[in-house]
Amino acid sequence: MSVLKPQSKVLFIGDSITDAGRDRTDPDDLGRGYPRLVAATYAEAHPGDGVRFLNRGISGNRVRDLRARWEPDCLDLAPDVVSVMIGINDTWRRYDRADATSAEDFAADYERILALTTDRLTARLVLVEPFLLPVRPGQDSWREDLDPKIAVVRRLAREYAATLVPLDTIVTAAAANRDAAELAGDGVHPTMEGHALIAGTWLEATT
């Protein structure tokens, strides 16, 4: 069943992958990444539906940052669909700053924002898995931290009847037998080809 309905408001929220260089002085700017590609593709396929897409990604965010700004950047906007993609920075900061986020803390903050959303809004939830392509030395070891967080996202999707976008599975499969850096140059931030893959995966899961 499609989560996108005519005249609905769709909010993308997360970290730099969602942010994608958006102009934060323009509340309607979608950036240069997958939110813009989703909006353009959907509008072309469904002209006249009047679906409005919003982007509130902020580079560097972890799930604790989403929780801190959830009121103004989600609830106050009253979206009909809330798409969350968060988690890679919760892993990355363990390795570049020795500032870890446990799977338990990640789950608690993530569940809190979902509970607030279901309490205050009637929005459909879309949970997008964080992903990692180990293209840099040492990134293989990040899996021990990221995989439990992906498991949290999958569990919460079940518990909150959310649409799960299995992005880690899709991106990992797409990178097999090729140069993974063509999809994410540093293993985290997508190239335009990577953003196109995310947009296609998102639309396949939600339409």
From residue 65, how far is each of 62, 68, 100, 119, 188 by CA, in Å?
5, 5, 14, 20, 19
Which candidate in 2, 145, 189, 195 is catalytic? 189
Residue 141 annotated among the catalytic residues of the structure? no
Which candidate in 145, 168, 186, 195 is catalytic? 186
Closest CA to 63 of 91, 35, 32, 38: 91
Q: How far apart are CA 105 and CA 82, in angstroms?
A: 21
Residue 189 annotated among the catalytic residues of the structure? yes
Residue 186 annotated among the catalytic residues of the structure? yes
Angle of the 103-120 helix axis to the 63-73 helix axis, nearest 10: 10
Which candidate in 8, 15, 16, 80 is catalytic? 16
Give the residue numbers marked as catalytic.
16, 186, 189
